[in-house]
């Protein structure tokens, strides 16, 4: 059986305590929420914090409040979000994204904050210590070379969060709290396109809250590509959000998942959509933009060339769905189930 | 004494069902013994190297560590096949793949052993990395093993049955196709585990998740130099096997040694990654099929070549090699046949037997080629196959004796049920159906260690309590062997399954059964059980007959009673009946055993393929392919299986659907794939993703709806007419998927798995006017050995090779064979 | 330093002195000897180790022991109440939903959680709810049949006595 390395466990009751304890030794302290990312990583010795600060005792992190939009505590489980009628009714794209994360059992444990901060993934990295020893390690942990592209001077691990593209498309912000203060940043600014330093979160900061603006007039959707109907991380994904005036788009955001080390916005496409009705030609040209921008690497399931090609199809499906086309059959084929997670 | 059956053929709860749903089944890792220690293995992190130095001092110094072991403690090699005893429990001098065990730590708990094992330092001197068969064929040196046919070729064989070249040359059409089948692995959810202990008498006891306690027993005896009579192996119920727990494994030998040395129980439970290194799964196979075909779709001759990537050790590899060529003729009438197979060593975890052992790969090639033939000749693929089904009660060109064949019924059934005639080549673009068939052994006709001993033994104990205990070495791996055993005994004795206790898979307590492999258990154990139970029934009948004065011939055993068929009120309870027999004969016990009939194949290599009878399967698979991306979904599968007789239809259906499941996994996603880092920078060759997340196996959401039909024509060779079901139903799935993809979008995927990438590449090739296909371009030149020429039975052959140097001067032709051959010549050879 | 844990396990108080680095899976199997809960990866990738933790099905291989204090755990051993099998267990045994039986405890736990929440789920919903549990033997069909049959049995008042 795989065993955890030794670590010291601390359980704060408040964010302030957690921040204070994190500040004591931010370099080798890690935060534990649902455990679905950190615990496997610790067992494989990818992450070996000497102290683990468990957040589950901090009740304020598991609240969801109706404000102007929706304020979701970072510790809210993915299952709670899937069962939250407000999320389903107002932020369908987020609901589709969260409902397709991992498996129902893992969603019972995993939190929204955890999915946002999910470690970037790579088939050269998400391996046991001994396996990584056999390749003389990689740049992301204990080594020098990025085996995905040996000439690369930065790590090319892939952003594998489903929630983040959907949240960025919705214009979400996040709150970061440290012992020295609190700051609010646009979620898109939380990410950097670097497999190792993929978050701009400082190591002494705790992500406490995700804030969604009001959804009035917005339609959102999320299309995820993965091998199987459950378990798998995305190998390509698109979140699209658009505000319509009649059949014309007023404002739109398109964010790609799993084709870079961060969720990738397609600003040119969004600009192209503004003021236009969603014609097939326009959808095709936006899909081309996304295709050009996507840079999948050989770091996860499927061949990268094929993954890149599918971006076109995913964006097309997403925009057609926003336009009002009936995409249920296509979605069921892709997702391998009709997304019935709400009962 | 024929009467309606009470148990056999009725759907019922399996005898171990309650244990399994209450968490009470004790798997190997569930065994906790007092003072038990825990073991971890250090595995090689280099693919091919000499071990220069091992320093275990830091590990030995860790508090709580009892023992550190290296290869020095295990000088004696072992292996599953007598011709390839090439494994050591811990590598003494050379490591051959990443994951090869080098050292072991035994400590008070697993965490301590885990900490300590990481402190062992090993210095390696790297050797050339052999990452593929191409490497192994190109470079004979350094040799991965110092045995084998030549260079890094483990085994190369060439057999010919009749003048295949003339038959192909004289055909109306010649089809020449190459195919590739990627390796894949069993992925049982239970990771291998073993507990070894010294019993109070000082003898070794090993509890292990093994499918083959008898072979483990032999291997332990050899590797540890302990007489087999002083070793007890208990096969714990396996949490899934599929062939992956059929070899004796390093960890079993290591903990056995450690327990004897320390006089304490020692447990090892492998991690998932280590299970990928144990492997022994499906060989990657490159194949070339050259077939001569007449205008009406009959095969005149088949010339098959296969190249197997064997990985780092022999395992079952010699048998696997022959199996890639063994069963083509059992399915279809192929009068002339040449088979050449080659297995090479590479620096990867060893391949071996996975469900279908060696036959799914060439089954895939054959069934896809038949689809191409049907296309070209404009014959419906179902009709093409119906026309060439091997005749029943026949001898094939390669001397396999075929009994009953339900294949035509299977084809007819799936064609009907699936609406094939309305769908094939008629569905809209993007949707398609594919058909394929298969056959499989109901038990290997020869044991691994050639001898004249029974393959399965059963003992029965009955006493005055009325209780019946049945003992058999067979191993419950989930397939329901305990249920078959108990069901048969209960049926014969007219009692309920609940009245029978089964003791299985324990070399101290049970007579030998060779193990749960080659789909042999139901047929062989079943026949032995019938014999034992009938002998017991005979004794009881004598006792009752004497005591109650009823003629023996009129006695009926049913409803837990023994009674007069002419006066059912006259009789006695089963318990009383046993007492009468015990009073008459003394302590009651009977035995039964089963040995398969001798095979008429006398040529070298003829030992692989013979079976008492063969099962047959046909299936239709429906697919949906997105022409834009190649994304493929499988909504429905119709399958019909020739089972002979379904002893417990619940379990039979489960085996069929489980086979479909595994076939869908192999067809679409499962790959035991490796990464070779750039040779300029590294020697590394690693398993690409030794995890249950990245080794893709279908979930609840990926599984098609399955419509199962059982074809029941009892086969005289099987118990109550039963044939196998554990392996056959997997085989046709992969080719049927590929054939369905062709029906859907008009491209041939000649390589397994059928992935969206391959489909899209083929679609793009088609759009560019190139061959609408994805698959291997060619088959390499292989220096084949001299071909053994065997005259087929229909031409008067006697089962020996014409150019066998040991051949007797005067041919002794079996009269039966000759007669059969004469009949076949008349009917089928024109 | 060992960690002292107080839990409710299958409705009874349980106390254990455990290695603090252990997960709930290890505590259940090794310290409480409840070996009915299985493991197939210890990384959250197979579903074999599912238990109910405060009535929610979770993967015990990913729950650190520190976070179990005072909580309620139900394992497969706890599905049998007063000597009566849960209807899910009856149906799994009768209908071939358990072959090797190794994934069965985890699937039973996930299925029980589903039926506790929704007494009459559709076949599609059952599929979705069990999609975090891998089985290599059955092909899932007989599992779906068994869950559906247990719905009928529960509806007929086949509920266990509590």
Interface test with C, best of A13, A83, A104 (most C CBs within 10 A): A104
Q: How far is A267 from chain B (nearest CA, A)?
A: 25
- Chain segment B477-508, per-residue pLDDT in tens: 999 999 999 999 999 999 999 999 999 999 99
Q: How far is C140 from chain A (nearest CA, A)?
A: 14
Q: Subunits touching A (CB < 8 Å, at least 3 pairs)?
A: B, C
Residue B29 to residue B14: CA distance in whole angstroms:
23
Interface test with B, best of A3, A7, A331 (most B CBs within 10 A): A3
The confidence band for A343, taking pLDDT boundaries of 50, 70 and 90, is: very low
| A2 contacts B275 by C-beta, under 8 angstroms | no
| pLDDT at residue number C156 | 80
Residue B527 to residue A260: CA distance in whole angstroms:
61
- Backbone phi, psi, residue B551, to 5°: -55, 135
Phi/psi region, residue B148 (left: phi>0; alpha: psi -120 to 50; beta: rest), is: left
- Using CA atoms of A188, A190, A194, A195 in order, give the dihedral in degrees to the nearest 10: -110
Q: Scan residues 682-701 of B and list those with Cβ closer than 8 Å to C.
A: 691-693, 697, 699-701
Residue B829: is its pLDDT beyond 80? no
Q: Does C120 touch chain A (CB under 8 A)?
A: no
Residue B711, C-beta contacts closer than 8 angstroms, at least 6 positions apart: B406, B409, B410, B413, B616, B640, B641, B642, B643
Fold of B285-446+603-774: Aldehyde Oxidoreductase; domain 4 (3.30.365)
The gap from C-alpha B236 to its chain's centroid, in whole angstroms, comes to: 19
The confidence band for B2, taking pLDDT boundaries of 50, 70 and 90, is: low
- Domains of chain C, each with CATH number or no CATH: 3-78 (3.10.20.30), 87-155 (1.10.150.120)
- Chain A residue with CA closest to B44: the answer is A134
Partner residue facing B45 (CB), from A133, A310, A337 = A133
Report in angstroms the alpha-carbon separations of A206 from A63, A209, B372. Answer: 16, 9, 61
> What's the whole-number average pLDDT of chain C?
95
CB contact under 8 A, C21 and A3: yes
- Vertex B610: Cα angle to B607 and B615 (nearest 5): 150
The confidence band for B808, taking pLDDT boundaries of 50, 70 and 90, is: low
Report in angstroms the alpha-carbon separations of C158 from C52, C112, C116, C149, C150. Answer: 22, 14, 14, 11, 9
CATH 3.30.390.50 fits A62-117+158-335, yes or no: yes
Residue B666 to residue B104: CA distance in whole angstroms:
34
Residue B671 to residue B695: CA distance in whole angstroms:
7
| pLDDT at residue number C158 | 59
| B436 contacts B735 by C-beta, under 8 angstroms | yes
Contacts of C112 in chain A (CB under 8 A): none
CATH 3.40.605.10 fits B35-127+189-240+245-278, yes or no: no
Phi/psi region, residue B526 (left: phi>0; alpha: psi -120 to 50; beta: rest), is: alpha
CB contact under 8 A, A39 and C64: yes
CB contact under 8 A, B700 and A129: no
Q: What is the DSSP letter of B498?
A: G
Report in angstroms the alpha-carbon separations of B651 from B329, B658, C137. Answer: 29, 10, 11
User: Which tokens belong to A141?
Assistant: 């942990």
CB contact under 8 A, B20 and C104: yes
How many CB atoms sit inside 10 A of residue C36's CB? 24
B816-825 as b/e, with b when 16 or more CB fall inside 10 Å? Answer: ebeebbeebb
Q: SS3 of B650, please?
A: helix
Residue B821: is its pLDDT beyond 60? no
Residue B643 to residue B406: CA distance in whole angstroms:
8
| pLDDT at residue number B820 | 46
- Chain segment A51-75, per-residue pLDDT in tens: 999 999 999 999 999 988 999 999 9
Residue B210 to residue B247: CA distance in whole angstroms:
8
- Vertex C15: Cα angle to C13 and C17 (nearest 5): 170
- Backbone phi, psi, residue B622, to 5°: -105, 135
- Chain segment B116-157, per-residue pLDDT in tens: 999 999 999 999 999 999 999 999 999 999 999 999 999 999
| B230 contacts B203 by C-beta, under 8 angstroms | yes
| B192 contacts B220 by C-beta, under 8 angstroms | no
Residue B657 to residue B639: CA distance in whole angstroms:
9
Interface test with C, best of A31, A103, A115 (most C CBs within 10 A): A103
Q: Does B239 touch chain C (CB under 8 A)?
A: yes
| pLDDT at residue number B478 | 97
Residue B453, C-beta contacts closer than 8 angstroms, at least 6 positions apart: B447, B512, B595
Residue A94 to residue A165: CA distance in whole angstroms:
9
- Using CA atoms of B559, B560, B563, B568 in order, give the dihedral in degrees to the nearest 10: -30
The confidence band for B826, taking pLDDT boundaries of 50, 70 and 90, is: very low
Residue C50 to residue C46: CA distance in whole angstroms:
9
Q: How confident is the model over B351-366, as a mean pLDDT?
A: 98
Q: Subunits touching B (CB < 8 Å, at least 3 pairs)?
A: A, C
Partner residue facing B701 (CB), from A3, A310, A336 = A336
Q: SS3 of B367, please?
A: helix
Residue A199 to residue A193: CA distance in whole angstroms:
9
Q: What is the DSSP letter of C161?
A: P
Residue B669 to residue B696: CA distance in whole angstroms:
6
How many residues in total does chain C contain? 162
Written in H, E and C, the secondary structure of B54-72 is EECHHHHCCCCEEEEEEHH
| pLDDT at residue number B819 | 45
Q: How confident is the model over B617-630, as a mean pLDDT?
A: 98
Residue A114 to residue A37: CA distance in whole angstroms:
8
Residue B623 to residue B722: CA distance in whole angstroms:
32
Q: Which of A112, A35, A37, A31 minimizes the C-alpha distance to A73?
A: A112
Contacts of C26 in chain A (CB under 8 A): 1, 3
Residue extents of the structural domains in chain B: 17-24+453-594, 35-127+189-240+245-278, 285-446+603-774, 788-828
| pLDDT at residue number C1 | 85
- Vertex B119: Cα angle to B116 and B122 (nearest 5): 130
End-to-end Cα spacing for chain B = 47
Kindly tell me the sign of the dihedral angle through the C-alpha atoms of B480, B482, B487, B489. Answer: positive
Beta strand residue intervals within chain A, DSSP E:
8-10, 29-32, 51-54, 64-66, 70-73, 173-178, 181-186, 206-212, 218-225, 236-245, 248-257, 264-265
- Chain segment B269-291, per-residue pLDDT in tens: 999 999 999 999 999 999 999 99
CB contact under 8 A, C62 and A36: yes
Kindly tell me the sign of the dihedral angle through the C-alpha atoms of B254, B258, B260, B263. Answer: negative
Classify strands B588-594 and B456-462 as parallel, antiparallel or unpaired. Answer: antiparallel
Residue B115 to residue B398: CA distance in whole angstroms:
55
Phi/psi region, residue B707 (left: phi>0; alpha: psi -120 to 50; beta: rest), is: beta
HSE-up of residue B756 (Cα within 13 Å, Cβ side): 27
Residue B605 to residue B597: CA distance in whole angstroms:
17
For residue C12, list its beta bridge partners.
C9
Q: How confident is the model over B716-740, as a mean pLDDT?
A: 98
CB contact under 8 A, A1 and C26: yes
Q: How far is B230 from chain A (nearest CA, A)?
A: 30
- Chain segment A107-120, per-residue pLDDT in tens: 999 999 999 999 99
The confidence band for B696, taking pLDDT boundaries of 50, 70 and 90, is: very high
- Chain B residue with CA closest to C75: the answer is B23
Task: Give the whole-number percent of chain B exceeding pLDDT 70.
Answer: 97
Q: Which of A181-185, B305-309, B755-759, C150-154 has the lowest mean pLDDT?
A: C150-154
Angle between helices B381-388 and B407-418 (to 10 degrees): 170
Report in angstroms the alpha-carbon separations of C80 from B22, B359, C160. Answer: 7, 44, 8
CB contact under 8 A, C50 and A105: yes
CB contact under 8 A, C46 and B700: no
Q: How confident is the model over B391-396, as a mean pLDDT?
A: 96
Residue B97: is its pLDDT beyond 60? yes
How many residues in total does chain A contain? 343
| B272 contacts B282 by C-beta, under 8 angstroms | no
- Chain B residue with CA closest to A133: the answer is B45
Beta strand residue intervals within B388-511, DSSP E:
394-395, 401-402, 431-441, 456-462, 468-472, 500-504
Alpha helix segments (H runs only) across B353-505:
359-377, 381-388, 407-418, 420-423, 481-493
Contacts of B121 in chain A (CB under 8 A): none
Report in angstroms the alpha-carbon separations of B339 from B94, B309, B350, B828, C19. Answer: 34, 17, 23, 22, 59
Q: SS3 of B42, please?
A: strand
The confidence band for B828, taking pLDDT boundaries of 50, 70 and 90, is: very low
Partner residue facing C64 (CB), from A35, A229, A230 = A35
> What's the whole-number average pLDDT of chain B?
96
CATH 3.30.365.10 fits B17-24+453-594, yes or no: yes
Q: What is the DSSP letter of C60?
A: G
Q: Which residues of A lie closer than 8 Å to B, measured between beta carbons?
A: 1-3, 123, 126-131, 133-136, 145, 147, 150, 227-232, 301-303, 305-306, 309-310, 313, 333-334, 336-337
Q: How far is C134 from chain B (nearest CA, A)?
A: 6
The confidence band for B816, taking pLDDT boundaries of 50, 70 and 90, is: very low
Residue B778 to residue B766: CA distance in whole angstroms:
19
Residue B817: is its pLDDT beyond 50? no
Q: Does A35 touch chain C (CB under 8 A)?
A: yes
């Amino acid at each position: 059986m795989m065993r955890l390395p030794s670590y010291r466990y601390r359980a704060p009751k408040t964010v302030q305590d957690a921040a204070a304890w994190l500040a004591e030794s931010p370099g080798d302290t890690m935060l534990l929420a649902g455990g679905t990312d950190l615990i496997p990583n610790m067992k494989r010795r990818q992450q070996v914090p000497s102290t683990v600060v468990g957040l589950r005792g901090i009740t304020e992190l598991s609240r969801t409040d109706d404000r102007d939009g929706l304020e979701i505590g970072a510790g809210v489980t993915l299952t709670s979000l899937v069962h939250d009628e407000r999320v389903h009714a107002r932020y369908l794209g987020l609901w589709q994204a969260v409902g397709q994360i991992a498996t129902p059992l893992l969603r019972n444990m995993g939190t929204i904050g955890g999915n946002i901060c999910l470690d970037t993934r790579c088939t050269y990295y998400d391996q046991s210590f001994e396996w990584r020893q056999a390749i003389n390690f990689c740049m992301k942990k204990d080594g020098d070379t990025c085996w995905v592209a040996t000439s690369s001077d930065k790590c090319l691990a892939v952003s594998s969060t489903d929630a983040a593209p959907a949240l960025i498309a919705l214009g979400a912000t996040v709150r970061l709290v440290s012992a020295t203060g609190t700051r609010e940043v646009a979620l898109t600014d939380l990410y950097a396109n670097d497999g190792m330093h993929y978050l701009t979160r400082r190591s002494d900061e705790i992500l406490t809250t995700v804030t969604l603006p009001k959804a009035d007039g917005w339609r959102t959707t999320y299309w995820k590509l993965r091998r199987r109907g459950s378990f798998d991380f995305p190998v390509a994904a698109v979140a699209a959000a658009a505000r319509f005036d009649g059949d014309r788009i007023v404002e739109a955001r398109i964010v790609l998942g799993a084709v870079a080390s961060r969720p990738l916005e397609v600003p040119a496409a969004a600009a192209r959509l503004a003021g236009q009705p969603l014609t097939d030609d326009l959808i095709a040209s936006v899909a081309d933009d996304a295709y050009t921008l996507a840079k999948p690497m050989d770091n996860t399931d499927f061949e990268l060339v094929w993954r890149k090609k599918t971006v076109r199809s995913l964006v097309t499906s997403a925009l057609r769905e926003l336009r009002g086309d009936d995409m249920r059959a296509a979605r069921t084929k892709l997702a391998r189930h009709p997304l019935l997670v709400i009962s | 004494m024929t009467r309606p059956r009470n148990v056999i053929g009725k759907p019922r709860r399996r005898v171990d069902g309650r244990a399994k749903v209450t968490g009470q089944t004790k798997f190997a890792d569930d065994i906790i013994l007092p003072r038990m220690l825990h073991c971890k293995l250090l595995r090689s992190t280099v693919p091919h190297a000499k071990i220069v130095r091992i320093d275990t001092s830091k590990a030995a110094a860790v508090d709580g560590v009892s023992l550190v072991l290296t290869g020095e403690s295990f000088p004696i090699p072992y292996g599953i096949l007598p011709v390839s005893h090439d494994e050591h429990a811990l590598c003494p001098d050379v490591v051959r793949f990443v994951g090869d065990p080098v050292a072991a730590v035994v400590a008070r708990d697993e965490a301590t052993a885990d900490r300590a094992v990481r402190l062992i330092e090993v210095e390696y001197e790297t050797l050339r990395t052999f990452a593929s068969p191409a490497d192994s064929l190109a470079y004979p040196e350094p040799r991965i093993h110092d045995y084998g046919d030549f260079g890094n070729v483990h085994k190369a064989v060439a057999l010919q049955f009749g003048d295949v070249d003339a038959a192909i040359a004289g055909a109306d059409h010649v089809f020449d196709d190459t195919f590739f089948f990627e390796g894949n692995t069993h992925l049982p959810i239970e990771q291998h585990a073993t507990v070894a202990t010294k019993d109070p008498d000082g003898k070794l006891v090993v509890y292990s998740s093994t499918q083959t306690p008898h072979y483990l027993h032999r291997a332990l005896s050899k590797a540890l130099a302990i007489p087999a009579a002083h070793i007890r192996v208990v096969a714990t119920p396996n949490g899934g096997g599929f062939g992956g727990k059929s070899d004796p494994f390093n960890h079993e030998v290591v903990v056995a040694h450690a327990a004897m040395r320390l006089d304490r129980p020692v447990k090892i439970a492998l991690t998932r990654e280590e299970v990928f290194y144990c492997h022994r799964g499906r060989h990657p196979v490159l194949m070339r099929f050259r077939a001569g075909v007449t205008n009406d779709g009959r095969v005149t001759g088949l010339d098959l070549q296969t190249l197997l990537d064997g990985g780092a050790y022999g395992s079952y590899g010699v048998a696997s090699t022959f199996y890639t060529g063994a069963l083509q003729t059992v399915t279809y009438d192929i009068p002339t046949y040449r088979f050449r197979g080659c297995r090479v060593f590479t620096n990867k975890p060893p391949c071996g037997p996975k469900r279908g052992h060696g036959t799914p790969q060439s089954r895939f090639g054959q069934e896809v080629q038949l689809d191409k033939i049907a296309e070209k000749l404009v014959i419906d693929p179902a009709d093409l196959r119906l026309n060439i089904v091997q005749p029943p009660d026949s001898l094939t060109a390669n001397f396999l004796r075929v009994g009953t064949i339900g294949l035509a019924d299977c084809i007819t059934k799936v064609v009907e049920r699936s609406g094939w005639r309305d769908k094939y080549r008629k569905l809209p673009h993007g949707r398609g159906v594919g058909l394929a068939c298969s056959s499989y052994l109901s038990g290997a006709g020869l044991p691994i260690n050639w001898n004249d001993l029974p393959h399965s033994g059963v003992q029965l104990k009955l006493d005055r309590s009325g209780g019946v205990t049945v003992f058999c070495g067979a191993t419950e791996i989930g397939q329901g062997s305990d249920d078959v055993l108990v069901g048969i005994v209960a049926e014969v004795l007219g009692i309920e399954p609940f009245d029978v206790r089964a003791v299985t898979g324990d070399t101290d307590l049970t007579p030998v059964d060779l193990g749960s492999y080659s789909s042999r258990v139901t047929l062989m154990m079943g026949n032995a059980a019938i014999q034992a139970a009938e002998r017991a029934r005979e004794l009881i009948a004598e006792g009752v007959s004497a005591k109650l004065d009823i003629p023996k011939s009129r006695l009926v055993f049913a409803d837990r009673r023994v009674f007069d068929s002419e006066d059912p009120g006259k009789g006695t309870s089963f318990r009383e009946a046993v007492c009468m027999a015990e009073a008459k004969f003394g302590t009651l016990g009977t035995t039964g055993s089963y040995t398969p009939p001798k095979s008429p194949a006398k040529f070298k290599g003829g030992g692989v393929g013979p079976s008492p009878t063969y099962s047959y399967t046909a299936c239709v698979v429906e697919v949906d392919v997105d022409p834009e991306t190649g994304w493929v979904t499988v909504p429905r599968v119709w399958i019909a299986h020739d089972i002979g007789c379904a002893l417990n239809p619940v379990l039979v259906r489960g085996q069929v659907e489980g086979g479909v499941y595994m076939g869908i996994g192999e067809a679409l996603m499962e790959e035991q794939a490796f990464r070779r880092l750039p040779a300029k920078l590294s020697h590394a060759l690693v398993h690409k993703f030794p995890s249950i997340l990245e080794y893709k196996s279908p979930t609840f959401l990926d599984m098609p709806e399955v419509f199962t039909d059982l074809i029941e024509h009892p086969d005289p060779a099987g118990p109550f007419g039963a044939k196998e079901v554990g392996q056959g139903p997997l085989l046709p799935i992969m080719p049927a998927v590929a054939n369905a993809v062709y029906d859907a979008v008009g491209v041939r995927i000649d390589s397994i798995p059928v992935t969206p990438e391959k489909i899209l590449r083929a679609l793009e090739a088609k759009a560019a006017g190139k061959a609408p296909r994805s698959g291997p371009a060619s088959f390499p030149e292989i220096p084949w050995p001299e071909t053994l020429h065997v005259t087929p039975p229909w031409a008067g052959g006697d089962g020996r090779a014409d150019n066998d140097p040991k051949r007797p001067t005067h041919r002794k032709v079996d009269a039966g064979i000759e007669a059969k051959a004469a009949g076949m010549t008349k009917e089928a050879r024109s | 330093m060992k960690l002292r844990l107080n839990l409710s396990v299958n409705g009874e108080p349980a106390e254990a002195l455990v290695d603090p680095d252990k997960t709930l899976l290890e505590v259940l199997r090794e310290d409480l000897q409840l070996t009915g809960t299985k493991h197939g990866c210890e990384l959250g990738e197979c579903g074999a180790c599912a238990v109910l933790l405060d009535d929610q099905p979770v993967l015990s291989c990913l729950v650190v022991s520190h976070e179990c204090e005072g909580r309620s755990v139900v394992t497969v051993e706890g599905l049998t109440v007063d000597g009566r099998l849960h209807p899910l267990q009856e149906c799994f045994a009768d209908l071939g939903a358990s072959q090797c039986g190794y994934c069965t405890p985890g699937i039973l736990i996930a299925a029980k959680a589903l039926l506790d929440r929704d007494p009459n789920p559709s076949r599609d919903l059952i599929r979705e709810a069990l999609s975090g549990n891998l089985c290599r033997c059955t092909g899932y069909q007989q599992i779906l049949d068994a869950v559906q049959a247990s719905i009928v049995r529960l509806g007929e008042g086949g509920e266990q006595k509590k």
